[in-house]
Chains A and B, each alone.
Chain A
Amino acid sequence: MKVADEPLLAFKEYSMGFKDEGVVYNLLDNVSFSVHRGAVLGVVGESGCGKSMTALSVMRLLPPEAVVQSGEIVFDGANLQKKSEAEMEKIRGREIGMVFQEPMTSLNPVFTIGRQIGESLAIHFPNMSKDEIHNEVCQLLEHVGISNAAKRFYQYPHQLSGGMRQRVMIAMAVACKPKLLIADEPTTALDVTIQAQVLELIKKLVNENGSSMMLITHNLGVVAETCDEAIVMYAGQIVEKGSVDHIFNHHSHPYTAGLMASIPSLSHGDGDLYSIPGTVPTIDKFGNGCRFAARCTHKKPRCEGSSPPLMEVDPGHFVACWNF
């Protein structure tokens, strides 16, 4: 029996790193969070903070140098780390769909888009006939807002615009109606007007299928407008997690605050923008303490010695900072 409020996906004290000449450098450090059923979780952070590695960990598609150090990732009640490769193949695309950032590099240029979308259907539903798959793909294309589906079915990726390609990627990811959709920077390469269309579309599909989504992005505006909950990552650690309201209106971690103050917004005044001093440390210089300590304006002696755990400051609002 599954409990209704048991999360669909849960990271439990998950740590992973990279091996280089026999030394393992830790990247994701004790990462714990959940994606609830029917909810959209935003994962925010700057380049190199481990957002994409979090996504690839779920899919078990980590690069060969990666090492899982400890913890587990529980999807729909089962530990993904314990699954065999054959079992994972049944989950990828069927149970968990993924939309990647670069639609041009993730689509195969020599196959028609119809064939590429139909591929996952053919693999996961071997009983479907060719005609059924063709019809289903055409419906999917219409559904993601590509008109004239019967003609588009036979087109190649280069014949489509960037926005269209991203729609094709989304159609591929949702073809089998997965329970979880992972979208890694799905709109970063798109113009704002197209970005708004694509985000609307993703939200609509997630709602219709009753699925959950993990949306990875560096754009705080996209998180505010799309997600229910969010985690903020810095150098492989979760520094803050909570509802979108917590993160945007009651953020408590100095890094979240610095990030918020750095964005020029449409309603921003004219003064100098805030900027966080220093730069993100490289993976070999993370140290044992809070990884943000070197750039933090509220640094205490304790911060460099040991890294703070996530502490609940309000119901459902967690912050990893020794100041609390």
Chain B
Amino acid sequence: METMLQVRNLKKYFPIKGSFFSSNPSYVHALEDVDMDLYRGETLGVVGESGSGKSTLGRIIIRLEQPTAGKVFFEGRDVSTLKGKSLKNFRTDIQMVFQDPYASLNPRLTVGSAIAEPMIAHKRFSSKAEIKEATEDLLRKVGLQPSMSSLYPHNFSGGQRQRIGIARALSLNPKILICDEAVSALDVSVQSQILNLFNALKRELGLTYIFIAHDLAVVRYISDRILVLYLGTVMEIAPKTELFDRHYHPYTESLISASPEPSTVKRKGRIILSGEIPSPINPPKGCKFHTRCFKCMERCKTEEPALKEIETGHFVRCHLYDDKGRG
């Protein structure tokens, strides 16, 4: 497997404006020492509750935010050092699909010009006819009529708008698509259409996805590997089947247990976590999850566990597995 993207020791702290006199400013600890690899042609699912840093991770990878510390390597090159032309090229290689199809399209631009805009900005084509042809081709690719390019966003339903967002993201032939809650706002019957579209595009264009979502069932359906984030820390990374069949981290276990299943078969021993995700301004000491963990031990409160590879490709950050696997 070829590694396409590497994230190493990524940290992101957002400063909070304190009072004028406060000497030490406080920070939102959005990401803490995140390490991950993305392989060519895979779909990596990123799950976690709100405030877990999922979106920040996506935004740093695409260089919409600068990390506080740590590096992102894309095809072996440090992304933060890119400038000028190489930065412009990098921008075309990774594109993003956003959550809210209502808010991410300009209501005053026709759909055709919204899709054409990145191609014009990057001077992909010299003539208007070529751009028009490419736009219509993209619309066809995402399952819309080429004739729709002269319509405005308000003419479209939520699912169709999401298709337009995808067409726009595809306009520069990216290698990686980051989907940030791209199906969360859609109804189930529309959601299934868009998920199928993502899979079809992956096969057709050889895309690699980072799929950020809070819905475990969706992530399970679309991903090859899954990364579980909690308070900006990677708790578990594993291939999908491995994660669902033999999750090791208590947090992963409780997430899976809490997801409502559309079935009348009663599940045994449902775990309902008490409390809520702590504030990322003052994250707990020791293991970040210890305040809500149902298997919490004394040492979890003081000592943060390391991310360890328990089985090949299956990493867990939990003291329960200290004497298992490699550090």
Contacts and interface: CB of A to CB of B under 8 A. Distances in A.
Interface of A: 46-47, 161-164, 191-197, 199-200, 218-225, 244-245, 248-249, 258-260, 262-268, 270, 272-276, 279
Given A161-B276, A197-B272, A220-B262, A266 B220 contact: yes
B189 A259 contact: yes
A263 B192 contact: yes
B277 A191 contact: yes
Given A191-B277, A193-B49, A266-B259, A245 B264 contact: yes
Contact of A224 (B187, B195, B254, B261): B261
A265 B189 contact: no
Given A191-B50, A221-B260, A275-B189, A264 B273 contact: no
B118 interface: no
A260 B189 contact: no
A259 B187 CA distance: 10
Contacts of A194: 49, 276
Given A193-B254, A263-B188, A265-B217, A248 B262 contact: yes
B221 A249 contact: no
A273 B192 contact: yes
Contacts of A273: 192, 195-196, 221
A265 B256 CA distance: 11
Interface string B141-160: 00000000000000001111
B258 interface: yes
Interface residues of B, number: 42
A272 B196 contact: yes
A317 B233 CA distance: 48
A248 B277 CA distance: 33
A223 B264 CA distance: 9
A102 B160 CA distance: 25
A221 B214 contact: no
A224 B262 contact: yes
B255 interface: yes
Q: Which of A162, A244, A260, A265: most chain B CB closer than 10 A?
A: A265
A11 B218 CA distance: 35
Nearest to B158: A47
B191 interface: yes
Contacts of B222: 264
A53 B50 CA distance: 30
A224 B272 contact: no
6 contacts: A47-B158, A196-B273, A197-B272, A220-B262, A263-B262, A266-B261
Given A219-B260, A266-B244, A163 B276 contact: yes
A224 B260 contact: yes
Nearest to A221: B260
Q: Which of B196, B214, B221: most chain A CB closer than 10 A?
A: B221
B312 interface: no
Given A262-B192, A268-B217, A273-B195, A248 B272 contact: no
A213 B314 CA distance: 43
Contact of A196 (B192, B195, B258, B263): B258
B209 to A, nearest CB: 15
A164 B191 CA distance: 29
Contacts of A279: 157, 159-160, 190
A259 B193 CA distance: 12
Contact of A268 (B190, B221, B274): B221
A222 B222 CA distance: 22
B216 interface: yes
When A and B form their complex, which 7 residue pairs have the shortest distance between CB atoms, in order from nearest? A221-B260, A264-B221, A262-B192, A46-B187, A196-B258, A191-B49, A220-B262
Interface string B247-258: 000000011111
